[in-house]
């Protein structure tokens, strides 16, 4: 109930705000976009908070895994080109 009151007050304040201020306020709103996909029907308030927390934790785990794989990918050695790889023809030439 309190959340609805706060959201209504923010919506009312946003209608009178300038577009620049509104854009600045909306800058961080894309961070929790995944919360919009939670189905809150037949949930108590504590169950809703637990569902939100699980979604946040899953999203952060996904972000960490993506960052880790990108970081590890930076330090993978590049495969050697074909002409510099030691092969049977190099051993015969010696």
What is the mean predicted confidence (pLDDT) over 3-25? 56
Comparing 93 with 48, which gets the higher pLDDT? 48
Specify the pLDDT at position 30. 62
Is residue 75's pLDDT more than 80?
Answer: yes
Is residue 94's pLDDT more than 60?
Answer: no
| DSSP letter string, 45-67 | HHHHHHHHHHHHHHHHHHHHHHH
Q: CA 64 to CA 77: how far, in whole Å? A: 22
Q: CA 55 to CA 63: how far, in whole Å? A: 12
């Amino acid at each position: 109930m309190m959340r609805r009151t706060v959201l209504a007050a923010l919506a009312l304040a946003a209608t009178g705000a300038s577009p620049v201020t509104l854009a600045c306020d909306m800058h961080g709103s894309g961070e929790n976009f995944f919360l919009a996909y939670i189905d809150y029907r037949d949930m108590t308030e504590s169950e809703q908070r637990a569902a939100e927390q699980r979604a946040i934790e899953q999203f952060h785990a996904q972000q960490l895994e993506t960052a880790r794989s990108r970081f590890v990918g930076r330090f993978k050695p590049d495969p050697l080109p074909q002409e510099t790889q030691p092969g049977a023809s190099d051993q015969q030439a010696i």
